[in-house]
Amino acid sequence: MIVVEPYKGRSVREQKIEIVERKGTGHPDFICDSVMDAISVALSQEYLKDFGAILHHNIDKGLLAAGGVEKKYGGGRFVRPMELTIGDRATFKVSGREIPVVEIAVDAAKRWIRENLRFVDPEQHLTYRVVLAPGSDELTDLFSRPGQVTGANDTSAAVGYYPLSHTETVVLKLEKYLNSEVFKKKYPETGEDIKVMGLRQGNTLDVTVAMPLISQYVESESDYFARKGMIIKAMNDFLGECTGFKKIGVHYNTLDEKGRGPAGIYLTLTGTSAEDADSGQVGRGNRVNGLISMNRPMGTEAAAGKNPVSHVGKIYNVLSHKIAREIYEKVDGVKEVYVLLLSRIGTPIDLPQVAAAQILPEKGRKTGEMAGQVEQILGEALANIGVFCMELGRGVYPVC
């Protein structure tokens, strides 16, 4: 069933208060989401290569347990490695042929860490605990049933929206800038574990940023605060180029306190707090559009690591945002759009219980006059869901 109706709420941009969060590359929750999804992609590609289809798996239960370190100005050392637990279900054997699931999972995890965290050694700084097991007969059987499209393995709902507000855009861009190759080349002492929290009050944006410095680059407390001052200036320069606000203020590493030595400043050996302070878990990070937006409707599913051809917790989450963007860009007069998708377990994923678009039209426009175009976009997206799922299986769409 396809439904197009007016959105009854106010635009996010017209609300007095807006709160938006972004967890960056080195945040423990981001690491968990990214690594588990990288494992799903690796398994999907292995299944396709060997058997011509993506088989049953869900790698969406993951935990990164913090390690232990001793830090000092100029360096430090690990005293206990971080531990990455990789969990849930996978297909280990087909027609008597063994699939090296554990090796694929650990290799994919190490590869992601090596490519994204400059100071983390995936061999020395982490241990890996793989608790994957074969799936139940009932859910595994979904993959052997006839049909071009797999049945949904859960009854689940998802919601996506577009466009991003000015606040969402700035929060997203700031984290990406701070973790960019350009910024890290200029400020190599900054770690990847970045959290950006934006609070808009009317036309004023207040941004709070947490980002550690790497201990090997910091010679003293005074050196830390000197570097911190230069980084604040760089952030202010970047934010000064962002339009749409009367004023933007930035606050950086606000737990710091002078005179307390290394305990009073945000230092890490590796650029992530998972080395000794903060554990991570799948599903506690960003939504699939890269943000945690408190003023927006949000689903409860963790998309990362879920099966790309049967688990609607991944498919519908990513697809709802994709459809919302397409509606906004292709249909004249749309100010804001929300897309809701609901599955029923066992029913083919291209036949949701409901696919709904809630339209907030521009002034002077009516939802009814654009309903036909919107219905067509929804219908085409569902008709082409098989192609979309294969793209998910290749990791074309980020999930955090």
Per-residue buried b or exposed e for 91-124, using 16+ beta carbons within 10 Å of the residue's own CB: bbeeeeeebebeebbbebbbebbeebbebbebee
Domains of the chain: 2-11+154-164+299-393 (3.30.300.280), 28-143 (3.30.300.10), 166-277 (3.30.300.340)
Please give the Cα distance from 181 to 177 (Å, whole number): 8
pLDDT of residue 393: 95
- Of 230, 237, 241, whose CA–CA distance to 187 is shortest? 230
Nearest CA-CA partner of 280 in 24, 22, 62: 62
**Global pTM?**
0.94
Strand partners, 70: 77
Give per-residue pLDDT as tens, 208-235: 999 999 999 999 999 999 999 999 999 9
| Distance (Å) of CA 139 to CA 14, 52, 91, 143, 194 | 45, 19, 11, 8, 38
Could you identify the residue written with the tokens 């459809």? 323
What's the confidence (pLDDT) of residue 149?
73
Q: What is the pLDDT of residue 300?
A: 84
Find the DSSP H helices in the chain: 28-51, 101-116, 137-140, 166-178, 181-186, 221-240, 312-330, 371-383, 385-393
Q: What pLDDT, on the 0 to 100 scale, is given for residue 244?
A: 85
* Ranges of the chain with pLDDT below 50: none
Inter-residue contact 206 to 251 (CB < 8 Å): yes
* Count of beta carbons in the 10 Å neighbourhood of residue 219: 13
Whole-angstrom distance, CA of residue 149 vs CA of residue 139: 15
Which amino acid type is present at position 217? Y
What pLDDT is recorded for position 299?
85
pLDDT, residue 134, reads 85
Q: Taking a C-beta distance cutoff of 8 angstroms, is the pair 90, 132 a contact?
A: yes
Res 138: pLDDT: 52
Residue matched to tokens 């984290």: 175
pLDDT for 172: 98
Res 146: pLDDT: 55
How much of the chain is in helix, strand and coil states, percent to nearest 5?
35, 25, 35
Residue 336 pLDDT: 97
Q: What angle do CA 95, 98, 103 make, to 5 degrees?
A: 150
- CA 394 centroid distance within chain: 16
| 61: helix, strand or coil | strand
| Beta bridge partners of residue 357, listed in sequence order | 4, 339
Give the 3-state secondary structure of residue 52: coil
Q: Are 23 and 285 in contact (CB under 8 A)?
A: yes
